[in-house]
């Protein structure tokens, strides 16, 4: 590898393989990663991130190395459940995705699974995207919205009912729909995104979290729903809205980080976790270390003010 970055409190494998991102593949002891027209090779040796193909500034931004993970931990580490997830997957950071690719990826994710989503996205890139030669291989750039294949072609690529959503989302994105989202507050941004066909609460929250850096967004998918109801609601059926409200109250401005740690923890360890007794109310409603709301607020303001 040609260059390196210091990367403390960072775990490349957890960050790439936790399920938040789809455009990577294993390559030797590292990975080849794509984002829009970028493509780089990366591996980790201790606290060093070795890379080539793009500059360090891009990687630093892409992997959110500017986030103070220890302060984030301090803000969300309030109970045994999230603590175990933080311990097992320490170093997982949210990836800053390209907004349009993020919309397309999570519309593609509807009622699907990670291997298939990855394949669908690669097929769309191969179909209409431009390509370039990188690391002795041809890599395909995911198409800008103007270039995404029409519904009929997407159906041939086995996108199923998502094909029509993707075509319309691409038309809106090409018209500039995503350009002003960052200016809006969370509720307005969410409502705007949900005007896109194929984007409801869950996909909107994924786009806000992964595509627009809204660290307070808390996507409720099947895994989070299953894990949260079991660990925090005594396995009682609970609405997604109630789950989100609970998460925002407990984890504050970094709820999105808590979501990703809980998601990968639940998805990878469910067999073990589901064999444990269902936690009683007192075990999960009692907060281990109460951090003052004002302190959390301060951290949130500092992080959000950075952009």
Q: Point out which residues bind DNA (CB under 7 A).
A: 18-20, 109-116, 155, 158, 160-161, 165, 194, 196-204, 206, 219, 221-224, 226, 239, 241, 259-260, 263, 267
**Minimum distance, C-beta of residue 239 to DNA, in the bound complex (Å):** 5
Pairing of strands 30-35, 38-45: antiparallel
**Minimum distance, C-beta of residue 163 to DNA, in the bound complex (Å):** 8
Closer CB to DNA, residue 37 or residue 241?
A: 241
Q: Which residues is 44 bridged to in the sheet? A: 49
**Minimum distance, C-beta of residue 149 to DNA, in the bound complex (Å):** 14
Closer CB to DNA, residue 198 or residue 279?
A: 198
Closer CB to DNA, residue 135 or residue 161?
A: 161
**Minimum distance, C-beta of residue 240 to DNA, in the bound complex (Å):** 8
Q: Which residues is 138 bridged to in the sheet? A: 133
Residue 301 contacts residue 77 (beta carbons within 8 Å): no
What φ, ψ does residue 62 adopt, rounded to 5°?
-55, -45
Tell me which residue has tokens 């989202």: 181
Closer CB to DNA, residue 140 or residue 165?
A: 165
Residue 193 contacts residue 207 (beta carbons within 8 Å): yes
Tell me which residue has tokens 């301060």: 298
**E strand or H helix that includes residue 218:** none
Closer CB to DNA, residue 149 or residue 199?
A: 199
The total number of residues written for the chain in this structure: 307
Query: Which DSSP letter does residue 61 get?
Result: H
Rounded distance between C-alpha atoms, residue 177 and residue 212, angstroms: 13
**Minimum distance, C-beta of residue 198 to DNA, in the bound complex (Å):** 5
Q: Which residues is 133 bridged to in the sheet? A: 138
**Minimum distance, C-beta of residue 259 to DNA, in the bound complex (Å):** 6
Closer CB to DNA, residue 38 or residue 155?
A: 155
Query: How many Cα atoms within 13 Å fall on the side-chain side of residue 75?
Result: 30
């Amino acid at each position: 590898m040609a260059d390196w970055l210091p990367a403390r409190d960072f775990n490349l494998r957890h960050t790439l393989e936790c399920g938040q991102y789809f455009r990577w593949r294993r390559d030797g002891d590292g990975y080849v990663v794509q984002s829009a027209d970028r493509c780089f090779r990366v591996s980790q040796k201790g606290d060093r991130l070795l890379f080539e193909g793009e500059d360090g500034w891009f990687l630093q931004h892409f992997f959110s190395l500017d986030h103070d993970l220890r302060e984030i931990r301090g803000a969300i580490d309030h109970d045994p459940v999230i603590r175990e997830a933080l311990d097992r997957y320490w170093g997982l950071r949210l990836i800053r995705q390209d907004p349009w690719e993020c919309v397309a990826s999570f519309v593609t994710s509807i009622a699907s699974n990670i291997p298939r989503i990855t394949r669908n996205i690669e097929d769309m890139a191969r179909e209409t995207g431009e390509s370039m030669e990188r690391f002795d291989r041809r890599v395909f750039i995911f198409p800008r919205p103007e270039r995404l294949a029409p519904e009929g072609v997407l159906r041939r690529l086995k996108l199923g009912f998502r094909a029509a959503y993707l075509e319309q989302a691409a038309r809106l994105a090409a018209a500039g729909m995503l350009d002003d989202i960052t200016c809006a507050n969370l509720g307005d941004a969410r409502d705007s995104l949900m005007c896109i066909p194929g984007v409801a609460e869950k996909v909107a929250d994924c786009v806000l979290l992964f595509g627009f850096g809204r660290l307070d967004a808390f996507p409720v998918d099947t895994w989070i729903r299953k894990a949260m109801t079991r660990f925090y609601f005594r396995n009682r059926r609970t609405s997604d809205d109630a789950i989100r409200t609970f998460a925002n109250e407990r984890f504050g401005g970094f709820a999105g980080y808590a979501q990703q740690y809980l998601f990968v923890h639940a998805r990878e360890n469910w067999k073990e976790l589901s064999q444990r007794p269902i936690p009683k109310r007192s075990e999960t409603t009692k907060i281990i270390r109460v951090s003052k709301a004002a302190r959390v607020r301060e951290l949130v303001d500092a992080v959000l003010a950075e952009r």
